[in-house]
Chain A
Amino acid sequence: MPDPNETSSRPAVAEITLATSRDVVAARQAVARILKERGLSAVRITRFATAVSEITRNAIVHGGGGKISIYLDGRNEYLRVECRDQGPGIENVTLAMSEGYTTAGGLGKGLGGAKRLSHGFEVHSAPGKGTTVSMSVKL
């Protein structure tokens, strides 16, 4: 598993502000480009870029916008993406992760789906404190 302390000590490879749906496209394309440069297979790139797409859209739709930061860990074994928003936060993370749960009229597959498509996946959230999703893929 990625070591969050180790990754956070390195500067971000890229940072993208999330405000509109165009930024969701920019975020997933940036992640895909970095993974392509690292020689990952098409399936692995698509899986992780899809997870990033789900999470960054959540930050815009539910969190009112935010920022993603892309990091490489110290041994270049993992790429980690951190997505933060300053929105209302998630009251019950376990419930939000469950299949079919939705507050925005979607399918409720986004958060749980993004977790399945990532190697490491953590959600930190509290009401009124925004949400941070940290997800990683093995390089």
Chain B
Amino acid sequence: MTSINLVENALLVSIQDDVTDTEIVELQDTLSNRIAKENVKGVILDISSLEIVDTFVGRVIAQLAGISKLLAAETYVVGMRPAVAVTLVELGMYLPETRTALSLTHALTQLRRA
């Protein structure tokens, strides 16, 4: 399951490894509504429990980042496993609208400056 929590001025989204395609599409919907309603500066996607990110999940992450940018919130992806990064590059997946941060603390520091 996936959880969304308000941390400082950002929505912290934790995506679990057993997330299904259906759930991740629902997340896009829920998250965009919450960004608009709660007027947050950023979205932090914690993918540390994801053992794999395939083209579908990668595409949804890229779309989430695009949507939140349009709603004036920056997206940070935190906790990407090295093996996931290697595989994404091999798949030719780039996440152009997405900033990555090594940790939640780093992402929050960036958002405080914004």
Using CB atoms and an 8 Å cutoff, list the residues of chain A in contact with chain B.
20-22, 24-25, 28-29, 32, 41-43, 45-47, 49-50, 53-54, 57, 99, 106-107, 109-110, 113, 116-117
Residues on A with beta carbons closer than 8 Å to the beta carbon of B18? 25, 29
Tell me whether B84 is interfacial, beta carbon within 8 Å.
yes
CB pair A46–B84 under 8 Å, yes or no, is yes
Complex interface: chain B residues within 8 A of A49 (CB): 51-52
A-binding segment of B4-12, B32-40, B71-79, B85-93: B85-93
Complex Cα gap A110–B53 (Å): 12
Interface of A is mostly: helix
B interface residues, how many (CB within 8 angstroms): 23
Closest to A100 in B: B92
For the complex, give the distance between the alpha carbons of A47 and B53 in Å. Answer: 10
The residues of B with any CB-CB pair to A shorter than 8 Å are: 17-22, 51-56, 59, 81-84, 86-87, 90-93
What's the Cα separation between A18 and B91 when bound, in Å? 23
Q: A29-B18, A47-B87 are in contact. Are A113 and B82 (CB under 8 A)?
A: no
**Whole-angstrom distance between the Cβ of A45 and the nearest chain B Cβ:** 7
6 closest cross-chain pairs (CB), A and B: A46-B83, A21-B21, A113-B91, A53-B54, A21-B20, A42-B83
Which of B19, B21, B86 sits near A46, CB closer than 8 Å? Answer: B86
Asked if residues B20 and A117 are in contact (CB atoms below 8 Å), the reply is: no
**A50 touching B22 by the CB < 8 A rule?**
no
B residues near A107, Cβ cutoff 8 Å? 55, 59, 93
**Residues of the A chain whose Cβ atoms lie less than 8 Å from the Cβ of B19:** 25
Cα–Cα, bound, A117→B55 (Å): 12
Residues of A within 8 A of B91 (CB): 50, 109, 113, 116-117
Residues B93 and A46 in contact, CB atoms below 8 Å apart: no
Closest B residue by C-beta to A49: B52
Give A113 to B92 CA distance when docked, in angstroms. Answer: 8
| Complex: A124 Cα to B18 Cα, angstroms | 30
Q: Which A residues lie within 8 Å of B55 (CB)?
A: 54, 106-107, 109-110, 113
